[in-house]
Structure 1
Amino acid sequence: MPAPKLRVARPTSQLPALVRFYHDGLGLQILYSFEGHDGFDGVMLGHPQAPYHLEFTAQPGHEIGRAPNPEHLLVFYLPEPEAWQTAVARLHEHGYAPVPAYNPYWDRQGLTFEDPDGYRIVLQNADWQQ
C-alpha cells in the first residue's frame, strides 16, 4: 500500500505574513492558492515531490489567536550541514531570528523559529531516526 500524503491545515488571521514566513523565509513553494472559496482564502505550501504540504486558511471577519503552547512544532530534518546552514541563513535574511526551544532537546542539534501566529518550526540538523 502506498504511503498516504499528509496535509497539515491551520487557520490564521495573518495569511500574508504566514506566506512570507513559510515561502520567503523557509523556502517552501506555493503549490496552490485560492480566494473567496466558500468564504475562505488560502494557500498550500510545500515541495511538489514531498508527501506533505501545509495549508493555511483565512476567513474574513474571524480572528484566530496565537498558538496555545510553544510545544506546537513542525520539525524539518536537514541532515546535511550545508543544507541546514542554508535554511537557517534564509530565515535570518528575511528577518526571522531563532527563539529558545521550550524543550531544550531541540536546541542540541537545531534551531527553533516562531511564525507570525506563534507556532514554531524546528530546523533539525540530524537524520530522522524512526
Structure 2
Amino acid sequence: MQSPVLRVARPTNDLRKLADFYTRGLGFEVLARFENHEGFDGIVLGRRECPWHIEFTHQHGVMVERAPTTEHLLVLYLPEHHEWLAAVERIQALGVLSCAPENPYWDRLGKTFEDPDGYRIVLQNAAWGQKSMRSE
C-alpha cells in the first residue's frame, strides 16, 4: 500500500521570490512548474525523498494579501544540529533575519523567519513525535 502524500497549496503574488526563498533558503527542490493552467501559474517545491510538497500558485489578475496572522506557520523539524544550523545559515545568507514567534515555545529549540509573503517558517532543532509532543 502506498503512503499518502501531503500537498500544502497557497497563493502568492510573486512565485519567483518564493521559489528563491524556499530553494536557496531551505534547500527545497523544484519538483514541478506550470504556466497558464486554466489561469494559474505555479511551482511545486519539496524534497524528492519526502511524501510532502508545497505548491505556490498565482492566479492571473488576482492579488492576494500577506499572511493573515503571525501564527500561520510552516514548521520544519531538523533533529540533526548541523543540518539545522546549515538551514539557519542559508536563510540568513539571503538577508532574512529571525523574528520573535507569537508562541514563545518555538524559541526554545528553534528559530522563526518570515517568507516573502509574511508567512512564518520555524526551523525546529528537534525530532517530531508523539513522545516529544507530550514532553514539550
Q: Letter of the aligned partner of 1:61 in structure 2?
A: G
How far apart in 2 are the matches of 1:67 and 1:85?
Answer: 26
Q: Letter of the aligned partner of 1:104 in structure 2?
A: P
Tell me the equivalent position of 2:133: none
How far apart in 1 are the matches of 2:3 and 2:70?
Answer: 29
Q: SS where residue 18 of structure 1 aligns?
A: helix
Q: SS where residue 43 of structure 2 aligns?
A: strand
Q: Letter of the aligned partner of 2:104 in structure 1?
A: P
What 5-or-longer segments of structure 1 have no aligned partner? none
Identity of aligned residues (%): 57
- Tell me the CA shift for residue 3 of structure 1: 2.9
Q: SS where residue 128 of structure 1 aligns?
A: coil
Tell me the equivalent position of 1:62: 62
Tell me the equivalent position of 2:118: 118
Q: Letter of the aligned partner of 2:18 in structure 1?
A: L
CA RMSD, Structure 1 to Structure 2 (Å)? 0.9
- Tell me the CA shift for residue 94 of structure 1: 1.4
How far apart in 1 are the matches of 2:52 and 2:18?
Answer: 17
- Tell me the CA shift for residue 28 of structure 1: 0.3
Tell me the equivalent position of 1:22: 22
- Tell me the CA shift for residue 129 of structure 1: 2.3
How far apart in 2 are the matches of 1:21 and 1:96?
Answer: 9
Spell out the pairing of 1:42-57 with structure 2 (5 A cutoff). Answer: 42-57=42-57
Spell out the pairing of 1:1-130 with structure 2 (5 A cutoff). Answer: 1-130=1-130
How far apart in 2 are the matches of 1:72 and 1:10?
Answer: 12
Higher helix share: 2
TM-score by length of 1: 0.96
In the alignment of these two chains, the number of paired residues is 130
TM-score by length of 2: 0.92
How far apart in 2 are the matches of 1:47 and 1:40?
Answer: 23
- Tell me the CA shift for residue 2 of structure 1: 4.0
